[in-house]
Amino acid sequence: MVTIVFSHPWHGSFNKAILDTVTAVYDKENVPYNVIDLHKDGFNPVFTEEELAGYSQGRAFDPLILRYQEMIKKSDEMVFIFPNWWNTMPAILKGFFDKALLKDFAFNYEGGFNPLLKIEKTTVITTSEHPSPNFANIIEKGFIGDMLNPVGIRNAVWLGCEGTSKGTDEHRREFLGKVAKHILDIRA
């Protein structure tokens, strides 16, 4: 099972075109998937006092988080699609990590920090106006190295599209082709 985490509020965006490309490949290949559309789901990334009190115990109170955790538990592959805003992920995606990847679900501290998830295929797809190398440290070391890998979301491949809004239609079509090819290639 594949779980796709989509973090863009506008369904007319290029990020949505990327999501549509990914799901079209999975549909054509008969690959089961779930989409976590954080904005469409009305996900609130801000901790409540109750949620923060339960954090150290690994307790989730939000029914959306419990649903998301069930999806992730059944997954052997994940795809993250988001824009780079202010040189990082949108706040709603950070809140997803804060609230969903809890102790005793995604990790534990028994004898040190231990990952509990076993997701061996991961794709991170980002969009930005600035050149992708500007985000290499943030995505490769921060997002992949410090957030995904430690909880067992491994083998991430990053595909970054730069000049998204100001680029040409041809540039965007080429990137969608690159995304489709990658999704097919990791299925092999």
Domain encompassing residue 45: 2-187
Structural domain tally of the chain?
Answer: 1
pLDDT for 18 equals 98
Q: What is the mean pLDDT of the chain?
A: 96
CATH number at residue 83: 3.40.50.360
Whether the pLDDT of residue 166 is over 90: the answer is no
pLDDT tens-digit series, residues 3-39: 999 999 999 999 999 999 999 999 999 999 999 999 9
pLDDT for 82 equals 98
Whether the pLDDT of residue 73 is over 90: the answer is yes
Whether the pLDDT of residue 165 is over 90: the answer is no
Q: Contact, 100 vs 93, CB < 8 A? A: no
Q: What is the 3-state secondary structure (H, E, C) of the chain?
A: CEEEEECCCCCCCHHHHHHHHHHHHHHHCCCCEEEEECCCCCCCCCCCHHHHHHHCCCCCCCHHHHHHHHHHHCCCEEEEEEECECCECCHHHHHHHHHHCCECCCEECCCCCEECCCECEEEEEEECCCCHHHHHHHHHHHHHHHHHHHHCECCEEEEEECCCCCCCHHHHHHHHHHHHHHHHHHHC
pLDDT tens-digit series, residues 80-102: 999 999 989 999 999 999 999 99
pLDDT for 133 equals 85
Whether the pLDDT of residue 77 is over 90: the answer is yes
Is the pTM higher than 0.95? The answer reads yes
| Burial classification of residue 133, based on how many CB atoms lie within 10 Å of its CB (0-12 exposed, 13-18 middle, 19 or more buried) | exposed
pLDDT for 14 equals 97
Residues whose CB is less than 8 angstroms from the CB of residue 128 and which lie 6 or more positions away in sequence, other chains included = 83, 84, 134, 135, 160, 161, 162, 164
pLDDT for 76 equals 97
pLDDT for 102 equals 96
